Amino acid sequence: MKAVVIGGGIAGLLAARVLTESFDDVVVLERDKLSGQPEYRAGVPQGRHVHGLLVRGGEIMEGLFPGLYDELVQAGAHLMDAGEMRILNPLGWVASTRTGLPLLVASRPLLETHVRRRVTAKIMDDVHVTGLSFCGSTVDGVLTGDGRVDAELVVDASGRSSKLPKWLAEAGIVVPEPDEVDSRTGYATRIYTAPKDFPVVVAESLASPHTPRGGIVMRIEGDRLMVTAQGAGGDHPPRDPEGFQRFLDSLRGPIAGMLADAEPLTPAYLFARTASRRFAFERTPGWPGGLVAVGDAVCVFNPVYGQGMTVAAMAALVFRRHADFSAKGCRDFQRKVAKTAESAWVLSSNADEGWVDGAHAPPGPFKRAFGWYLKKWQVALVHDQDVFRRFVRVVHMVDSPAALLNPVVFRRLAKYSRPDRRPGRRPAVPNPR
Ligand SMILES: Cc1cc2nc3c(=O)[nH]c(=O)nc-3n(C[C@H](O)[C@H](O)[C@H](O)COP(=O)(O)OP(=O)(O)OC[C@H]3O[C@@H](n4cnc5c(N)ncnc54)[C@H](O)[C@@H]3O)c2cc1C
């Protein structure tokens, strides 16, 4: 049995890793030329920006490739407690505390290269997939620039710019319009030298509707800092050095001051196609046998929540409990994949509604309750380490959001009604506790 995976990004590599457990032959077709070394590449433009791997995603990857964390740390990645990130939310510094959850901090190229080295499937680079090959109502391979590759199963993992809906439409199969929530967030990122003792992660989070600007600084391999400026609601950071610096200076927290002794090593790179979008492939009439999709090709998230690689990892595990790739089996597979993305989608899309153009119509009861609940959280996260610990477990997808909907949490949140905001003061970075 042969499986072909389109795309050698994180979703494709992890899918290939799991497929090697049940298929005799697994081939990954990647459009970019791969050098074997960690480097930025055209097919993954988002690789130039901060890529936080949530704890759940890290656990899955370490499970699939035992020893991966050690290898990455040897290559310069950092391992820290997920609760010890310094995060400034709109109301103050969150109550950072140890959680016992290991968080790996590395650049996207470093992570992807080490994962790729561990995948035993055959990876063919410089191969552009241009369409699907059909035998009746079943997909039996893919078309490439100069030929075709047969397969019993084709897995689309070609990311945010996947052409799958178009390829299916050419075969008369119409995918329903996707759900979309566009926070109009833009990223700009530069690499800097790292001053001595700079924390591993310092973040200033944005939040609708009044805090459109934020940033995140991560210590990455090679003793460098990756500095990403983020602006939502169309308030994008500029790429020219002066504009980038002005944007950092305009943040509420100390990021600009902390970088005073850091030297920029690269220009700023921009990325602004950040809308969250999900396709309901499981509801597509006439979906063919022999074809499934994972990763960003199915569901992309506003990257500020750092969910994409983890949801891709969860989708890869679905291959372990699924063996039927008939037309019905493939729709069932997509149903399971949609389920793995559901809680991430609910969290990010509801939090982003405040940025959506024309979303200022009076919200319904669910949205009002969600908004009220989020505000309570922002206050509680500043004051309460227990609340923060629970929040970290949910945000990192270790626990489901249901873990936050219980009477103990409600009682704790009820205590916190007053924002701890001191206008005009720029808060210093707290020491680790
Ligand atoms: C600015 C930004 C920041 C992000 N930050 C985070 C973060 O902090 N944490 C996180 O978890 N996620 C983050 N993400 C999301 C994350 O990058 C993706 O969710 C994750 O990489 C899974 O994507 P993928 O493998 O499906 O697609 P990709 O990583 O985009 O890989 C797709 C691959 O398919 C190849 N390809 C495309 N078309 C073809 C074709 N026709 N033939 C052959 N190959 C093809 C591409 O070259 C590429 O290698 C961020 C995204 C953006 C845009």
Mean pLDDT of the chain: 93
Among residues 16, 25, 295, which one has the least CA distance to residue 151?
Answer: 25
| Mean pLDDT of the 45-52 span | 96
State in Å: Cα 160 to ligand 1 middle: 7
Percentage of residues in the chain with pLDDT exceeding 70?
94
- pLDDT (tens digit, 9 = 90+) per residue, 136-149? 999 999 999 889 99
State the DSSP code for 278: E
Instruction: Give me 327's structure tokens.
Output: 């037309």
- pLDDT (tens digit, 9 = 90+) per residue, 54-64? 999 999 999 99
Q: How confident is the model at residue 125 (pLDDT cuts 50, 70, 90)?
A: very high
Atom of ligand 1 nearest to the CA of 8: 49
| Ligand 1 site residues, Cβ closer than 6 angstroms | 6-12, 29-32, 43-44, 46, 49-52, 128-129, 157-160, 187, 271, 274, 295-297, 303, 306-310, 312
- pLDDT (tens digit, 9 = 90+) per residue, 85-112? 999 998 899 999 999 999 999 999 999 9
State in Å: Cα 53 to ligand 1 middle: 13
Atom of ligand 1 nearest to the CA of 274: 53
Q: How confident is the model at residue 421 (pLDDT cuts 50, 70, 90)?
A: very low
* Least reliable range by pLDDT among 68-72, 193-197, 203-207, 415-419: 415-419
The protein residue whose alpha carbon is closest to atom 47 in ligand 1 is: 43
| CB proximity list for 318: less than 8 A, separation 6 or greater | 294, 333, 336, 337, 340
Q: Candidates 41, 116, 160, 183: which one to mutate for ligand 1, based on the most atoms within 8 Å of Cβ?
A: 160
Q: How confident is the model at residue 250 (pLDDT cuts 50, 70, 90)?
A: very high
DSSP assignment string, 124-168: E-S--EEEEEEETTEEEEEEETTEEEE-SEEEE--GGG--HHHHH
Percentage of residues in the chain with pLDDT exceeding 90?
82
Residue type, 139: V
pLDDT for residue 279 = 98
420 pLDDT exceeds 60?
no
State in Å: Cα 275 to ligand 1 middle: 14
State in Å: Cα 32 to ligand 1 middle: 13
pLDDT for residue 417 = 65
Domains of the chain (ranges, CATH numbers): 2-51+108-180+275-347 (3.50.50.60), 186-271 (3.30.70), 365-421 (no CATH)
- pLDDT (tens digit, 9 = 90+) per residue, 165-218? 999 999 999 999 999 999 999 999 999 999 999 999 999 999 888 899 999 999
State in Å: Cα 46 to ligand 1 middle: 7
State in Å: Cα 405 to ligand 1 middle: 32
pLDDT for residue 333 = 98
State in Å: Cα 249 to ligand 1 middle: 30
Q: Candidates 4, 18, 27, 30: which one to mutate for ligand 1, based on the most atoms within 8 Å of Cβ?
A: 30
The protein residue whose alpha carbon is closest to atom 38 in ligand 1 is: 158
430 pLDDT exceeds 60?
yes
pLDDT for residue 423 = 43
- DSSP bridge pairs for 4: 27, 154
pLDDT for residue 422 = 45
First-to-final CA distance of the chain: 54
The protein residue whose alpha carbon is closest to atom 29 in ligand 1 is: 9
Q: Candidates 18, 27, 31: which one to mutate for ligand 1, based on the most atoms within 8 Å of Cβ?
A: 31
- pLDDT (tens digit, 9 = 90+) per residue, 278-306? 999 999 999 999 999 999 999 999 999 99
Q: Candidates 33, 185, 296, 300: which one to mutate for ligand 1, based on the most atoms within 8 Å of Cβ?
A: 296
- Quote the CA–CA distance of 30 and 380 in Å, as a whole number: 45
398 pLDDT exceeds 50?
yes
| Mean pLDDT of the 143-166 span | 96
416 pLDDT exceeds 60?
yes
State in Å: Cα 92 to ligand 1 middle: 32
Q: Are 238 and 146 in contact (CB under 8 A)?
A: no
pLDDT for residue 354 = 81
Q: Are 158 and 7 in contact (CB under 8 A)?
A: yes
Q: How confident is the model at residue 72 (pLDDT cuts 50, 70, 90)?
A: very high
State in Å: Cα 312 to ligand 1 middle: 10
CA 313 to the chain's CA centroid: 11
260 pLDDT exceeds 50?
yes
State in Å: Cα 237 to ligand 1 middle: 22
**Residue 13 class from Cβ within 10 Å (0-12 exposed, 13-18 middle, 19+ buried)?**
buried
**Residue 431 class from Cβ within 10 Å (0-12 exposed, 13-18 middle, 19+ buried)?**
exposed
pLDDT for residue 401 = 85
